[in-house]
Amino acid sequence: AQVNGTFRCTADGAVALTLRQDSHQLSLSGQGTLSPDGRYLFRGTLQPRQGMPPLLALLVTRPASKNEPGRTPWQIQGKWLPQEQK
């Protein structure tokens, strides 16, 4: 797999990521941020390739959501919680 990404700091102290990955099974691209308070958000697109196992391709593709030929948008967000110290 070929992975390309860049990190940068934003004016409000967040870490921003731009990512692009391509392999014979899956193509992924998108942008994300991790803010100082631990909130994170990543938005991107997935595109199955010919080498992707059929069952995984069913999970990745959602015909009603495709925004361009073959690409499926997706998003993940949440809050990074520090591990409890003992």
Locate the domains of the chain by residue range.
Answer: 2-79
Could you tell me which of 4, 78, 76, 79 has the C-alpha nearest to residue 42? 76
Please state whether the predicted TM-score (pTM) of the whole model is above 0.75: no
- What is the C-alpha separation between 33 and 18, in angstroms, rounded? 9
27 CB neighbour count, 10 Å cutoff: 19
Per-residue model confidence as pLDDT tens for the chain (86 residues) = 789 999 999 999 999 999 999 988 888 999 999 999 999 999 999 888 888 888 887 777 766 554 556 788 889 999 998 777 66
Query: Can you read off the two tokens belonging to residue 69?
Result: 């030929």
pLDDT reported for residue 55: 84
